Amino acid sequence: MIILAVFTWACLGASFLVSSIQNFIYDRKHEKREIERDKRDLEYHNLRMKEYR
């Protein structure tokens, strides 16, 4: 019975660890995408303002 409890806690810990790593990686990629999108938006805006004048 104790072995089953230890195994259960180990599985839960491992799944939490994997989930945390995946979330960290996703957040980093998402942040980079947002930065790149903001740069493109600013470039587009500046180009449009240049054409407007």
**pLDDT tens figures, 6-44:** 999 999 999 999 999 999 999 999 999 999 999 999 999
Give 23's Cβ-side CA count (13 Å radius).
Answer: 6
Q: How far apart are alpha carbons 24 and 11 in whole angstroms?
A: 20
pLDDT at 51: 86
Tokens of 3: 């072995």
pLDDT at 43: 96
**How is residue 1 annotated by DSSP?**
-
Instruction: Read off the amino acid at residue 18.
Output: V
Q: How far apart are alpha carbons 19 and 31 in whole angstroms?
A: 18
pTM value surpassing 0.85: no
pLDDT at 17: 98
pLDDT at 53: 74
Output Rg (C-alpha) for the chain, integer angstroms: 23
